[in-house]
Amino acid sequence: MDAARRLRLAWFVVRTRLSRGLVALTLVMVAYGLVSAAYLYMGHVTLPPADVRAYRVMAIVYSAVLLFLSSMQGGMAVLKSDRD
């Protein structure tokens, strides 16, 4: 199977099994993560020790939200396939 067929198959699975809202939400979360990581990396941000704690908490909360959303994807995919 060549790369074009694999890409078309992956696009078909995404289009038929996931709702558009879920795909849009996932893309927004991924874009936000990439932009915020690039900003922190490229800006060479040095944080004072008092602010580090807040950013650690934000990183933990961000990771928890991503894990929660990724676990919901399976359930929403099943719900969408049941509606069809």
32: closest CA among 83, 66, 1? 66
Domain extent for 42: 3-83
Tell me the three state secondary structure of residue 47. Answer: coil
CA–CA gap between residue 75 and residue 84 (Å, rounded)? 15
pTM for this predicted structure: 0.45
Tens digits of residue pLDDT in 67-83: 667 766 665 555 555 55
- For residue range 5-35, list pLDDT tens digits in order: 888 888 887 777 777 777 787 778 778 877 8
State how many domains the chain has.
Answer: 1
Q: Residue 20 corresponds to which amino acid?
A: R
Instruction: Please tell me the distance from the alpha carbon of residue 77 to that of residue 8, in angstroms, as a whole number.
Output: 19
